[in-house]
Amino acid sequence: MGESALTNGARAVFLDRDGVINRPIVRDGKPYPPPSLEDFSLYPEAAEACRALKEAGYLLVVVSNQPDVGRGTQQRATVEAMHTAMQKALPIDRVEVCYDSGSGLSEFYKPAPGMLFRAAQALGIQVPGSYLVGDRWRDIDCGVAAGCRTIFVDRGYREHLQCRPDHTVSNLLEAARIILQSEATK
| Secondary structure (DSSP) of the chain | --HHHHHSSB-EEEE-SBTTTBPPEEETTEEE--SSGGG--B-TTHHHHHHHHHHTT-EEEEEEE-HHHHHTSS-HHHHHHHHHHHHHHS--SEEEEE---SSS--SSSTTS-HHHHHHHHHHTB-GGG-EEEESSHHHHHHHHHHT-EEEEE----S---SSPPSEEESSHHHHHHHHHHHHHT-
Which residues are marked as active site? 16, 18
Which residues are registered as beta bridge partners of 131? Answer: 13, 149
Pairing of strands 25-27, 30-32: antiparallel
Report the alpha-carbon distance of residue 28 to residue 26 in Å, rounded. Answer: 7
Report the alpha-carbon distance of residue 91 to residue 137 in Å, rounded. Answer: 26
